[in-house]
Amino acid sequence: MKRKFLNQLVAVGATAAMVAGLAGCGGPTEPVTDPNPAPDVTQPSTTTDPVADPVDESPYEVITDENGNPIDLGGMEIIIRDWWSSGEPATPNNDYEEAREEYREWCQETYNYTIKELAISDWGGAPQDFSDYVLAGDDGNNYVFTIRPDAATTAALSQGLMYDLATLDCLDFDHNPIFTRNQIDELYSQGDSIYAMYAANNGFAEARAGIYFNKRVLEDAGIDPESIYDMQADGTWTWDAWIQMMDTVQRDKDNDGTIDVYGCGENYGDLIHGFVMSNGGSYVKYDNSGKFVIALEDANTLEGLTKCKEVMDTYDVHASYEADAAWDFYKQDWLSGHFAFYPGQVWECDNVRQMDDEVGFVTFPKGPSAGSNYTSLASDNLYVIPACYSAEKAWALAFAYQLYFGDVPGYEDFIEGLDGLKAGYYAKFDDTRAVDETVVDIIRSSGYEPGELVPNMQIGPDFEYNIYANGPDISSVIEATKTAWQTYIDEANAKR
């Protein structure tokens, strides 16, 4: 199996990528008896000979069958099933999005199918919905499922509910940029088999966690907000630099013995994992043989957990809450200007900006063991095909999926430079540096937590929730967690 990283991007022209990934496709090689057969799918040719008019006049390279005709998916109605989409394409905001919409329409017309993204599941139930669907058997729909990393997802993988994508020769995981830009197929592979893919965002990891900051609150404390971006740019944005700022910001302004402005407030999971990842640590790692190993007591991980606990105990707004306060009360405190820094997710940007104060956004600062690069947690959704589908149907779904999320011909440099993704973020932030510098850095430097691939392991409830709970220290939490996790890891390793 190949090994690739986000900072080793493979720049391939869109036409070349499509031809390399699809022109040699032969489709399923064994006959399959299917009670709900997909429409007849005309398989592609292994030749790139020109085809007869009107295909010669097409603006794009056409994938043909053995007779020189365009691949025909027989009018299939394909749904990329998720928990957020309306089923209608978004209104294009720029030339690139217009070109992408035109290309998608051309693909559907040329290869005779329709495709849309549609919310059917919800966020919480999506992984279990997928398992239930596969166990019930093919119901005649044509779904590519979107699911998220979860214990139910890893259980579905271990139970053989995901179709082996490596058997579908229209998916080129070695050369097509939408797959070589990320590691999802490697993470969800066993031997030579691949069970999940990720081609949304042109295959780039979705921007996840960073730190929002209230510019007015910083200015009131005598800190230039732009200096944070400058430190991020020159590599000096570190734990110590952040803590020094929080120390300056946090104060009792009216000398009544009560802190008026705190350093930070957040969902503790984002803070804990931020400190661990930004110091080169993880909860679980791989040994030299590719087996899972608990990493809670590794030096980098322990250093991150220790510093995180220090920040929680010293600068966190939660210290001012009553015991029965709502778990997310910090969100209202943020909007009230009660603290300066909000470690959180990019998708929270709309809610975080619901106030008059201008908000900035920076990546999580580097720990002393991180080296020269910033690192944040990547947690992309997975796209999977039900194992209950026939080989012919699975091939057709994969063919259409790759075209839908594939690079748009003529925009290769635009895509590699992340300009297409950046364009969609500008309206979500108060300044362009948050996008041009922070979001871009997060996308390019994100890494995955191996613990998310261990069936039955739930990082939040099993570990993180106990780190921030009052009472136990870090060492006792680690000892209590290791016992349960070792059982899960032993079971997972037995199947690797």
- Report phi then psi at 146, rounded to 5: -100, 120
Residue 1 belongs to what H/E stretch?
none
Q: CB–CB of 186/313 below 8 Å?
A: no
Q: Tens digits of per-residue pLDDT, 2-26?
A: 333 222 222 223 333 333 344 444 4
Sign of CA dihedral 429, 432, 438, 440: positive
Distance between CA atoms of residues 346 and 424, nearest Å = 12
Q: Is the pLDDT of residue 55 over 90?
A: no
- Is the bond preceding residue 92 a cis peptide, omega within 30 degrees? no
Question: How much is the pLDDT for 33?
Answer: 39
What class, spelled out in words, does domain 14-206+380-416 have in CATH?
A: alpha beta
Those residues whose C-beta lies under 8 Å from the C-beta of residue 486, and which sit 6 or more positions away, are: 294
Question: How much is the pLDDT for 472?
Answer: 60
| CA-based max dimension of the chain | 84
Domain spanning 209-378+441-493, CATH architecture: 3-Layer(aba) Sandwich (3.40)
Q: Tens digits of per-residue pLDDT, 249-279?
A: 999 988 888 999 999 998 888 899 999 999 9
Those residues whose C-beta lies under 8 Å from the C-beta of residue 307, and which sit 6 or more positions away, are: 239, 275, 279, 367
Q: Tens digits of per-residue pLDDT, 285-301?
A: 999 888 899 999 999 99
Q: Is the pLDDT of residue 53 over 60?
A: no
Q: DSSP 3-state assignment of 442? A: helix
pTM over 0.75: yes
